[in-house]
Chains A and B, each alone.
Chain A
Amino acid sequence: MNKKRARRLRELLGCALALAAACVLAVAAHAQDDETERAIEKYRQMLKEDPWSNPGLLDADRGEALWTTAGGPNNVSLEGCDLGKGAGKVDGAFAELPRYFADAGRVMDVETRILWCMEKLQGFGHAELVKRPHPTAGQAVKELGAIATYVASKSSGMRYAVRLEQPAEKEAVALGETLFYRRSGPFDFACTTCHGASGLRIRLQGLPQLSNPEEARKVVGEWPAYRVSNTHVMTMQHRLYDCYWQMRLPELELGSEVSVALISWLTRQAAGGEIAAPGLKR
């Protein structure tokens, strides 16, 4: 990272602190919703003006290094990994995921595909890769997530161009839709409990109505995203894992049929939306 970039990052972190202070003031002024939203929008605007300032890009850089460096028991890089557009082709690959992979015989999102490549090409054990795949608050995103951040960043600015037309892909989308409305657990929660209506919040956190393609298009392409509150990048698989935790359900396995189906359905909902990954979240 060069000096200019480091300085810019410091400025932005300063802005994040100012933002936090602005939030407190806004709360005191009883106008916290609008003020907070405006402050975050300003922060996002600054990030757009200088695309190098999102801390999540450090993880994208780390992910790129991990992608190109030989590793794992087989000591090979991931450049032989086919993300759907041919071995080693990363540009625009994320915009076409999830998709069906004939070699794996199933539909995969970006993280599930990277998991598969780390397993099949690099020789990592599946169990160890999915054991603790997500960072706790304050920890940096794990290697797989950093690679996913890198891959997603290479489609940033593009629009989702997923087709999801093959039978297995259609099946994944259909399963994802059913899961979105499926209640379970001691709280009776489904995804739609929080994401079925527009303009609502949980505590102060705004909730996108993911059943509405217009809202899905605005947010789905922002993942993986850097979360200011947890100071790390959170991937989409991690986002869903956290939702299931909040729903009082057991741990959602990374790369499971459920997570892939939900991501497939969400991506279908977001069809045509712009990818802006890594995004930035409260």
Chain B
Amino acid sequence: MRHARAVLLIASIAIVFGARAAPAQEARAADAARADAAIKSALTAPADWQSRLVPDETMRTCSAHRNHPPVDLAQAIAQRARAAIVYPVDGKLLGDWHKGEAIAQSGYGLRFTDYPPRMSNGGNCYACHRLSRQELSYGTLGPPLLDYGKARNYGAADARAAYEKIYDTQASLPCSNMPRFGSNGILSIEQIKDLVALLMSPDSPVNK
């Protein structure tokens, strides 16, 4: 008994010293299941919105690793993303850049105030990217895309890479901040083609 007490005393001293050694704000983050449950009760969602509350495996990995996944998990994300990319049946990747510009400007769609839908979803590209010289209201969360096609000589392989990037950014950059416009059904294949045209047409404002 006395022996047990001594062990307990030593253990508690160790705990106190251990706690002292750690910085005050070193509190551990809550686990994902705890956050999932809190989200489920805080966000009142109709039945067809429930899936929005549940992150898929890619999002789970990125959240858990704060967007810096270990190499094996990053490869798994990229592999899954590549497998999910659907290409236009006719093989044509460039649509209409005029429509692409409108899609790049529009932030409409999928917010709870956007129902029933009054127009098609936007890509809101300008929120994060500089795309043209005349639009000065652009964000800097993503890299500037000025002269995107020109800098690449309007190459076919680059058009394909752009299509894939917009369709599912996770295929080329695991845990990228950019939405997966194709895989997540935000934009249609036709709309993604219009954005590829915006980036890759010599007469598009991106390359002017």
Contact = CB atoms under 8 A, between A and B. Distances in A.
Contact of A200 (B38, B53, B113, B139): B139
Interface string A166-203: 00001101110111011111111110111011011111
A32 interface: yes
A258 B38 contact: yes
B56 to A, nearest CB: 9
Chain A interface category by residue count? 35 or more
B86 interface: no
B7 interface: no
B30 A175 contact: yes
Contacts of A122: none
Interface in A90-135: none
A257 interface: yes
In the A-B complex, the 10 residue pairs with the smallest Cβ-Cβ separation, listed nearest first, are A256-B42, A258-B42, A183-B59, A250-B45, A250-B43, A175-B30, A187-B179, A178-B30, A248-B110, A174-B30
Given A30-B136, A187-B186, A256-B43, 15 more contacts: A181-B63, A182-B63, A187-B179, A187-B184, A189-B179, A199-B140, A200-B139, A200-B140, A203-B139, A244-B43, A245-B112, A246-B111, A248-B111, A258-B38, A268-B25
A259 B28 CA distance: 19
B136 A177 contact: no
A254 to B, nearest CB: 10
A251 B43 CA distance: 6
Interface in B49-73: 49, 52-55, 58-59, 62-63, 66-67
20 contacts: A174-B29, A178-B63, A179-B38, A183-B55, A183-B62, A185-B52, A186-B186, A188-B58, A190-B63, A193-B141, A193-B177, A200-B139, A201-B140, A202-B127, A204-B136, A248-B110, A249-B52, A249-B53, A250-B44, A250-B46
A261 interface: yes
Nearest to B142: A200
Interface residues of B, number: 47
Contacts of A173: 27
Decide if the interface of chain B is mainly helix, strand, loop or mixed. loop
A186 B138 contact: no
Interface of B: 25, 27-32, 34-35, 38-39, 41-46, 49, 52-55, 58-59, 62-63, 66-67, 110-113, 126-128, 136-141, 177, 179-180, 184-186
B42 A203 contact: no
A252 interface: yes
B111 A261 contact: no
Contacts of A6: none
